[in-house]
Chains A and B, each alone.
Chain A
Amino acid sequence: MSVARFWRKQQNRYNLIGNQCTVCGKYFYPPRGFCPVCRRDGKIVEHQFKGTGKVVTFSIIRSSSGNFKLLTPYVLAIIELDEGSRLTTHLVCDIDKVYIGMPVKRVFRKLGEEGSSGAIFYGTKFVPA
């Protein structure tokens, strides 16, 4: 893959920047350029998420591929941000400690690399708050 694929998502992934539709007030992370509620009547603006939320559901991944293979076993979780939108993340914590409703906060982490000579890409992961 080309570097542009990661570069164009940098602001979103590094700083947890998503969107809000100022018509319906709904927040979006991962970002959306088009409000699925208001559609063409919506007005999408950038929004900096606070970066705190709680665990909605999770799993311990015992078998994985690519960049995540060496991290097994790791916690995969769906997080609900305080603003209301949900995302999927690697939750960096002891696999025995995670529970539904656990408060979490964002951290900046390496997400992976494209082979030994390819681009290294970074972004947001979560840890217990």
Chain B
Amino acid sequence: MREVAVIGVGCTKFGEKWESSFRNLFVEAGALALEDANLSGEKIDEIFVGNMSAGRFVEQEHIGALIADYAGLATDNIPATRVEAACASGGLSFRQAYTAVASGMSDIVVAAGVEKMTDVGTEVTTDVLAAAADREWEGIAGITFPGLYAMIATDYMHRYGLTREQLAQVAVKNHDNGAKNPNAQFRKAITLDTVINSTLVADPLRLFDCSPVTDGAAAVILAPLERAREFTDTPIKVLGSGQASSTIALHDRKDISTLDATVAAGNRAFKMAGIERKDIGFVEVHDCFTIAEICAIEDLGFCKKGEAGRLTEEGQTAIGGKIPVNPSGGLKACGHPVGATGIKQVYETVKQLRGDAKGRQVDTDIGMTHNVGGTGATVVCHIFGRK
């Protein structure tokens, strides 16, 4: 296998982007990534795009071809493939691009992610997202995504004594970080009281425990490490890649509060990178709900089960703490355009490792991403290094 580097990154501003269509979002992110890599389109060998549900959000399938076309690459007949793994579609798109370059099959590959969620009403959005769970046996029982993660929170709080304040601190910390991220949907600091007094969505989770509905796209460009310096002075190397599956339904997990696919994907990425947890300078985790960040910190091995609440409360997951989590603001403050999130995590990690994350910079050479589909049926982790 060849070593692989990220040579360019681009990301749209995340938010309710009524003025932008699905295809505009992708083209905007792709153009930013090409500009960043100082690359012209005809040099691209292949495109992967993560997208969860354009079919239901904008009634459009055949996304690979659409994107190649509107990126101006259809006439060059560049292969373009859509990758889907619910909210892990972006992370999986990156992994597909990584394997394409590492294998030697392609040289210059775009890994993108895009989701346009606000062209339908909230009720439809809720139902589309519910399709990431088991439609026949969870969907029919009246699940919602907040409801599934709320059942994890109920189990976790009962077993480990996590407090309401500790859980709320996840959202407060992510809003603090997001306030310093120009691409974030919510650039506003909040207080514990805001979270604790917000509307109940699915007990014990409240509105401010939940990531929002978001439009957005992100794109990154990969190349063989040996060619990376043709395009950039600051190539960011992919050190490790791990993907894992688990049961589609939450009720079939051995332990409701452990995402076993996070454990497996994390272990695989660490083994491949040949580094330890203490070597990681920050991690972008999949905080679709506050409880998801608590579980992720533990399941990735940064602390023991039951300790992430205290770690968060002590400020150890804030920038400047022992293990900064979600310096971008995470899904909570950046927003969560489901197919784009996994690529946005890579975007943030590259910005951090280049030293370009103004106002929220973590001083480190190594960062990690963690992208979850559903309640943890798919998890994709990557580890990146500056050297």
State in angstroms the CA–CA spacing of A30 and B373 once bound together.
21
Q: A89 vs B126: C-alpha distance in the bound complex, in angstroms?
A: 18
Cβ contacts under 8 Å, B251 to chain A: 56, 78, 86-88
A76-B137 in contact given A57-B151, A57-B155, A86-B252 (Cβ < 8 Å): no
Please count how many residues in chain A sit with their CB below 8 Å of the partner chain's CB atoms.
32
A56 contact from B147, B155, B249, Cβ within 8 A: B155
B126-170 contacts to A, CB under 8 A, are: 126-127, 130, 134, 136-138, 140-144, 146-147, 150-155, 158
- The answer to whether A30 touches B147, judged by C-beta atoms less than 8 angstroms apart, is no
- CB of A67 to closest CB in B, whole Å: 7
Given contacts A86-B251, A88-B137, contact A59 B123 (CB under 8 A): no
- The answer on a CB contact under 8 Å between B141 and A90 is yes
**B199/A62 in contact, CB under 8 A:** yes
Given A9-B136, A67-B142: A59 in contact with B147 (beta carbons within 8 A): yes
- The 8 Å CB contact of A76, one of B127, B143, B153, is B143
A78 CA to B247 CA in the complex, in Å? 15
Residues of A within 8 A of B124 (CB): 65
Assess A58 versus B126: contact at CB under 8 Å? Given A30-B249, A67-B142, A123-B140: no
- Whether the pair B146, A63 counts as a contact (CB closer than 8 A) is yes
- Chain A residues near B76 (CB, 8 Å)? none
Tell me the residues in window 220-266 of chain B with beta carbons closer than 8 Å to chain A beta carbons: 249-252, 256
**Chain B neighbourhood of A120, CB < 8 A:** none
Instruction: Quote the shortest CB–CB distance from A69 to chain B (angstroms).
Output: 7
The closest CB in chain A to the CB of B128 belongs to A65
What residue in chain A is nearest B130 (Cβ atoms)? A65
Total CB contacts across the A-B interface at under 8 A: 96
Assuming A58-B151, A59-B154, A86-B252, is B200 touching A64 (CB within 8 A)?
Answer: no
Q: Is residue A45 contacting chain B, with contact meaning CB distance below 8 A? A: no
Q: A57 and B256 in contact (CB under 8 A), knowing A76-B142, A76-B143, A87-B137?
A: yes
Assembled-state Cα–Cα distance A71/B141 (Å): 12
CB distance from A33 to the nearest CB of B (A): 13
Complex alpha-carbon distance, A90 and B201, angstroms: 16
Expressed in whole angstroms, the Cα–Cα distance for A58 and B152 within the complex equals: 8
By Cβ-Cβ distance, the 9 closest A-B pairs, closest first, are A59-B150, A68-B142, A30-B137, A57-B155, A60-B203, A86-B251, A65-B126, A65-B123, A88-B141
List 19 A–B pairs whose Cβ atoms lie within 8 Å, in order of A's numbering. Answer: A30-B249, A56-B256, A57-B151, A59-B151, A59-B205, A63-B126, A63-B144, A63-B202, A65-B123, A67-B142, A77-B151, A88-B137, A88-B138, A88-B141, A89-B141, A90-B142, A100-B154, A100-B158, A111-B140
A interface with B by C-beta (< 8 Å): 9, 13, 30, 56-69, 71, 74, 76-78, 86-90, 100, 111-112, 121, 123
